[in-house]
Amino acid sequence: MSSTSDKIKGTANDAMGNVKQAVGKATDNKKLQAEGIMQERKGEAQKAVGEAKDAVKRTIDNV
């Protein structure tokens, strides 16, 4: 998977996690809130992987 797709999927998961958290809070659904937190963390991790891939590519390109 490319760094761009990692970052796009990460952003999507981050956004969906935020939505789930908000809906969970509004409906007092603790399970949905927890799912939202987990999905947000997954998105943050995916974005970090994409950034790391970019950093490695930049390092290789500069050698």
Each of the 63 residues of the chain gets a pLDDT tens digit; together they read: 789 999 999 999 999 999 999 999 999 999 999 999 999 999 999 999 999 999 999 999 998
Spell 4-30 as b/e; 16+ CB within 10 A means b: eebbebbeebbebbeebbeebeeeeee
* Amino acid 1: pLDDT: 76
Query: What's the pTM value of the predicted model, to 2 decimals?
Result: 0.84
The residues spanned by each domain of the chain are: 3-61
